[in-house]
Structure 1
Amino acid sequence: MAAQHARHENAMQGEGQEDTVHWGYRGPGAPANWSSLSADYAICGSGRNQSPVDLRGFVDAELPVLDFNYSGMALEILNNGHTVQANYVPGTVLVIDGRGFELKQFHFHAPSENLIDGKSYPLEAHLVHADKDGNLAVVSVLYELGDANNALARLWSQMPEKSGDKAILNAQVKAGELLPKDRDYYRFNGSLTTPPCSQGVIWLVMKEHPTVSRQQVEQFSRVLGGPNNRPAQPLNARLVLE
């Protein structure tokens, strides 16, 4: 139950929540050192089901259609020093394996954390969901460089410049706007991509990639002070289903 509670808190507060132990993406607190920063982070180094991964060796599993019946909108946007995150209005549920997972928040990484057949993408969105027991499911959207993204433009226009700052979103942004039109996806079992790297997370990675402009990626990276991606972790014996 303690692990489930910890996962639920990570969904509510988001990857990059305030920690007593300093971690980050550069210097002594970089990903390679996470497991040694705290006993609570040990699984970052020892876990066999860590995220992100380089998705490859796909197995045809005839995955069920995901019903993204998203409603509501993002309420506030915050900069927690590790990412830019939008917290979502309660009540939006995605059903996976017969269980309801409520959308809690979405946030971003640049460049992407997950790879596909070795390819990195300029930006990745993580839509974080939790069920009533605190189990997590993350929908990942990988963006290609191209035309500016309208939904991201509305978010970025209110992006807090300083760590710790947040703002109520004036421009309406719905989670469904972040998704591609084609809803085919890959699935694998993984973990949080930030400390404490808790495992048992369902990952759903969309196959189609919306566009984002180079300027939008550069704006995000400038605010975060550089890359905020954990390197791909060993796939080990896990299967990537499609």
Structure 2
Amino acid sequence: MDPMKLKLSPRNLLLAALLGASAWLPTHAGDGHAVHWGYSGEEGPEHWGDLSAEYTSCKLGQQQSPIDVRATDDKELTPLTLKYQAAAIHAVNNGHTVQYTIDNGSELQLGERGLKLLQVHFHAPSEHHINGVPFPAEAHFVHRDANGKLAVIGVMFVEGAANATLESWWRYMPDNSGQHLDPADASPVDPHALLPADLAYYTYAGSLTTPPCSEGVTWIVLKQPVEVSKAQIERFRAAMHEHDNNRPLQPLHARVVQD
């Protein structure tokens, strides 16, 4: 079943809450029950690869994310082409993040590849570092092309003034795990408005940052952070019950980071 093709009725939104922080297919153990994972203790990141045979990439993969992003190949990259449109959002707190599904045909163009924007979710603190610097939070804009290949835009947040666009998203933030909001009266939101003015970026080959840690993901990490208030970051952390939801940095191995 493709979770992103579900019609977001209350029943299906509850199902979507079980699909994990990155909206991938759920992973099951041999007894047919979903494998539970988390960010601490025996279900934390250092144990993900042992929780299920389907999670082995989490410990054996050579192209894992996140990383400390440092350019290793100075190359003139093609500017990002974004065809984002304002649309209704549907919010789910799945216990690992708060995820907003986008309701229209917003797209990212990467060369000849057209990728549809599926959803946006958040991590605090940031998963990626840039040149050794961590950030208070990070947003992931998840896209998929016609062949099922994924590209994720990572946007770093820094503390400063309140962000009006983020506030319009936070207005519909579910506070508890398993909770969803499907507001019929919500004004459309423009995902582009949550991006920085400068879309210069780093790019590298990586993976999902949550189980099953599947590789083959094109990562696009924007250089310019977005300013949000401390209160807005704390609002998200409250929805996560003050638990960090970031995977630790992974080895770069032989990969190249282009900028």
Normalising by structure 2, we get a TM-score of 0.86
The alpha carbon displacement at 1:72 in A equals: 3.2
Q: Which residue of 1 aligns with 2:148?
A: 134
Give the Cα separation in 2 of the matches to 1:40 and 1:95: 31
Residue 104 (structure 1) aligned with residue 100 (structure 2): no
Give the Cα separation in 2 of the matches to 1:145 and 1:9: 33
The alpha carbon displacement at 1:11 in A equals: 10
Give the Cα separation in 2 of the matches to 1:31 and 1:73: 34
User: 1:1-242 alignment to 2 at 5 Å?
Assistant: 15-16=20-21, 20-169=34-183, 170-225=186-241, 226-242=243-259
Give the Cα separation in 1 of the matches to 2:215 and 2:145: 15
The alpha carbon displacement at 1:96 in A equals: 1.0
Give the Cα separation in 1 of the matches to 2:231 and 2:153: 24
Give the Cα separation in 1 of the matches to 2:44 and 2:89: 31
Give the Cα separation in 2 of the matches to 1:15 and 1:26: 16
Cα deviations across residues 14-65 of structure 1 (Å, max 9, x unaligned)?
6425650010111211001000000000010000000000011432110001
The alpha carbon displacement at 1:115 in A equals: 0.4
SS at match of 1:151: helix
Cα deviations across residues 173-203 of structure 1 (Å, max 9, x unaligned)?
2110110001111100000000000000000
Deviates more, 1:29-38 or 1:210-219: 210-219
Deviates more, 1:84-93 or 1:136-145: 84-93
SS at match of 1:102: strand
Give the Cα separation in 1 of the matches to 2:254 and 2:233: 34
Structure 1 contact 130–137 (Cα < 8 Å) conserved = yes
SS at match of 2:83: coil
Structure 2 residues without counterparts, runs of 5 or longer: 7-15, 28-33
SS at match of 1:130: strand
Matched residue type, 2:123: H
Give the Cα separation in 2 of the matches to 1:15 and 1:186: 26
RMSD of equivalent CA atoms: 1.8
Give the Cα separation in 1 of the matches to 2:254 and 2:192: 32
Structure 1 residues without counterparts, runs of 5 or longer: none
Give the Cα separation in 1 of the matches to 2:258 and 2:104: 30
The alpha carbon displacement at 1:122 in A equals: 0.5
Structure 1 contact 50–190 (Cα < 8 Å) conserved = yes
Give the Cα separation in 2 of the matches to 1:140 and 1:217: 16
Structure 2 contact 138–157 (Cα < 8 Å) conserved = yes
Give the Cα separation in 1 of the matches to 2:250 and 2:130: 13
Matched residue type, 1:96: L
* Overall identity of the aligned pairs, in %: 44
Matched residue type, 1:119: V
Q: How many residues align?
A: 236
Structure 2 contact 4–118 (Cα < 8 Å) conserved = no
SS at match of 2:81: coil
SS at match of 2:217: strand
The alpha carbon displacement at 1:9 in A equals: 5.1
